[in-house]
Amino acid sequence: MKTIIRFPSPVAIYARASAVGGTEHDGPLGALFDFHDQTDRFGADTWERSEEALSRTVLNLALSRAGESQDEIDLLFAGDLQNQCVASSAGCGSMGIPFCGLYGACSTSCEGLLLASLSLLASRETVRAAVVTTSHNAAAERQFRLPLEYGGQRPPTAQWTATAGGAFLLARSSEPFVKAPSPRISACLVGRAIDSGVTDGANMGAAMAPAAADTLLRFFASPDENPADYDRIVTGDLGTEGSALLSELLRENGLDLLGRHRDCGVLLFDPLKTDVHAGGSGCGCSASVLASLFLPALERGELRRILFLATGALMSPSNLLQGGTVLGIAPLIVLEGGKP
């Protein structure tokens, strides 16, 4: 697992969906999302239950797009930012699908896609797998920092946890129900937990950028890989701070991404209209941008091949209070367009 895992046959993402809150819908990608709730409530009475409802909503949207029911899904990989991933377990785990709860912080969407792909290739008994990841601004702020009502001051390096979610349905590309132009996952590289000594919980970009650099340097160390072979190299949630640091780290190691790098945390919000400081973050940020922007571009043939590595800051408030650090992680998958 220390090297690139190249799949003997690709795994298809045959359906996907995205759902967001009001601030995210008002951003530059607003028209691309499948569903939004301007109140961020999603019909629930607390922020935590709102995220549970968001999780169910986005999975049901993906199922509806595929014309399938929850009973047809063999395995569900889902995660969020709440303690014990309760938004996922209470939101989607209660739907009766065999459930694997994940926690990779903001990298959870890519972790889920990677693990779902490996499970499909490992067992013929798994025909359909689902991946769901969500985050909610108000629920995350209450857990990791302070309730929004407190009105705490955020430093310039801080990022805005997205109220957003993405859902993906996966199957082996050889299955008869998989239709072109479904994007395909053809390879992956498991991320490593990187401790760069960051102790500032309000600067997640600084914790995640070294992990993203580690993954990309390992990936492009292969003689078979070159940044020029990819239309986009997409990171999740580095924001402006982390993206600048990633570029610096890669330059120091002789790697040039040739202008192909895009970051979901930078793309989700318009900084001139919304004060999100260093950009967006949260499990749902990269998941919603992947589902609404990059996968449709692959389906339409506008993009041919992309690298997707969602980045996560493995942060525990208790650990930081005890003098610990924020570790970063960045799993990677190779996505190819469904059109030849």
- Ordered domains of the chain (ranges, CATH): 5-172 (3.40.47.40), 184-336 (3.40.47.40)
Average pLDDT over residues 306-313: 95
Q: Quick check: 1 pLDDT over 60?
A: no
Residue 274 DSSP label: S
Q: CA-CA distance, 334 to 336, in Å (whole number)?
A: 7
Angle, helices 239-252/204-220, rounded to nearest 10 degrees: 40
Angle, helices 137-144/47-66, rounded to nearest 10 degrees: 140
Task: Name the residue type at position 171.
Answer: A
Q: CA-CA distance, 80 to 202, in Å (whole number)?
A: 19
**With contact defined as beta carbons under 8 Å apart, do 235 and 330 qualify?**
yes
Average pLDDT over residues 48-64: 97
For residue 289, which of 14, 16, 13 has the smallest C-alpha distance?
Answer: 16
Q: Which residue has the higher pLDDT, 235 or 320?
A: 235
Q: CA-CA distance, 147 to 140, in Å (whole number)?
A: 9
Average pLDDT over residues 156-172: 87
Q: CA-CA distance, 244 to 278, in Å (whole number)?
A: 11
> In this structure, what token pair is assigned to residue 12?
């298809």
> In this structure, what token pair is assigned to residue 155?
């430093």
Torsion of Cα atoms, 239 then 240 then 242 then 245, to 10°: 160
Q: Quick check: 158 pLDDT over 80?
A: no
pLDDT tens per residue, range 139-152: 877 776 655 555 56
pLDDT of residue 169: 98
Q: Decide: residue 153, CB within 10 A, 0-12 exposed, 13-18 middle, 19+ buried.
A: exposed
Q: Quick check: 253 pLDDT over 70?
A: yes
Average pLDDT over residues 22-29: 95
**CA-CA distances (angstroms) from residue 38 to 26, 128, 206?**
9, 32, 31
> In this structure, what token pair is assigned to residue 211?
């992990």
φ, ψ for residue 307 (rounded to 5)? -100, 135
pLDDT of residue 339: 60
Q: Which residue has the higher pLDDT, 153 or 75?
A: 75
